[in-house]
Amino acid sequence: MPGYTQDAKAGPERARWPLVAAVPHPRLRPLLSRGYVGFTEATTPRQLVLPATTAVPLVVKLADSPYRPPAFVMGAHGTSMALEGDCAPSYLEVLLAPLGAFRLLGRPMDQLGGHTVDLVEVLGPGGRRLAEQLRDTSSWRRRFALMDRFLLGRLDRGARPSPEVGRAWERLVATGGAVPIRQLAREVGWSHKRLLTRFRQQVGLAPKTAARLVRFNGVWRRLDEAGAWSRPRPAMPTRPIWSASSASSPGPPRPGSWPRPATPMATAGQRSIPFKTRPRSLPNLAEDTSSAWDRERATRGGHR
């Protein structure tokens, strides 16, 4: 595929197969870009190229590997990335929608900045306990249930995105990324500069970059619908759980059978760049998150 890699063994994650998938709790679905997905030792290809995306992957390795931390999150990025080395033999992945990541992770998304960050750096001891519990559980169904409970526990504690940023994101998706950014700022009642600052903080990318990824998301959807991948992509299943590696599995539903937020992912023509494996440290992690968000809300109220 043009723009990915010269290594024939590498490919996009949406082409990986077999896999196991499950539907998240209804309260979590608007905050995720797809359902829970598990990859096993039988899954191929093992080397990945990640398209540019506004989504934020949360990954917990069930079998360790020499590349990347045992559990990590990866910030939104505006260019494609060739992962260094093979994927872990088995791992569970949650693909967080941009504003869902802001709420569930409890961190400004611009702090991630396209880097891979150890889950403990982001979530503290709770992230370590989650990873340990998932590795100690042998059943995929129980692993998905553990992830459900963990994210639900964070749901009500997380900061809600600014209504203005939420409306801006919805307009970008609704227009296919075609609305001019200055017009977007006028529609939400903010200055252009303020929209850029707050959008980058809560989505992790500048509005112009996010708009480009929304446009390219249409390309991915057309490729999916045309059957560009030799195997079904990991769509949101309509049953509580299905196993793509099971002979009795009905397989994933057709794209669009479950309403979910658009996940801008792009692009077939992007330049592949090496992905840094050293985890990035976040600033001010010792600071109480609730206090930070209290100040954030106070600031927002003073700059309408």
pLDDT digits (tens, 9 = 90+) for 27-64: 999 999 999 999 999 999 888 888 889 999 999 999 99
- Domain boundaries in the chain? 10-160+232-274
Percent of the chain exceeding pLDDT 70 equals 69
Q: What angle do CA 60, 62, 66 make, to 5 degrees?
A: 85
* β-bridge partners, 116: 74
Tokens (6 digits) for 266: 């792009």
Residue 260 has pLDDT above 70, yes or no: no
pLDDT of residue 269: 32
Encoded amino acid at 141, one letter: R
pLDDT band per the 50, 70, 90 thresholds, residue 181:
very high
pLDDT of residue 114: 84
Which residue in 97, 78, 114, 217 sits closest to 169, CA to CA?
Answer: 97
User: Between 169 and 250, where is the model more confident?
Assistant: 169
pLDDT of residue 245: 32
Question: Residue 215 in contact with residue 270, Cβ under 8 Å?
Answer: no
Mean pLDDT to the nearest integer, 149-162: 93
Give the sheet arrangement for strand 36-44, strand by strand.
116-118, 71-74, 56-63, 90-96, 36-44, 17-22, 241-243
- Span between the terminal Cα atoms of the chain, in Å: 46
Highest mean pLDDT among 6-10, 163-167, 259-263: 163-167
Q: What angle do CA 148, 48, 88 make, to 5 degrees?
A: 55
Min mean pLDDT across 174-178, 181-185, 240-244 is at: 240-244
pLDDT band per the 50, 70, 90 thresholds, residue 158:
confident
Mean pLDDT to the nearest integer, 219-241: 55
pLDDT of residue 80: 86
- Distance of alpha carbon 31 from alpha carbon 296, whole angstroms: 21
Mean pLDDT to the nearest integer, 229-255: 39
Q: What is the pLDDT of residues 54-94, one digit of tens each?
A: 999 999 999 999 999 999 999 999 998 888 889 999 999 99
Question: Residue 92 in contact with residue 57, Cβ under 8 Å?
Answer: no
pLDDT band per the 50, 70, 90 thresholds, residue 16:
confident
User: Between 119 and 266, where is the model more confident?
Assistant: 119
- The alpha carbon of residue 134 and the mean position of all alpha carbons in its chain are separated, in whole angstroms, by 19
Residue 125 has pLDDT above 80, yes or no: yes
pLDDT band per the 50, 70, 90 thresholds, residue 220:
low
Phi-psi region at 90: left, alpha or beta (left = phi > 0; alpha = psi -120 to 50): beta
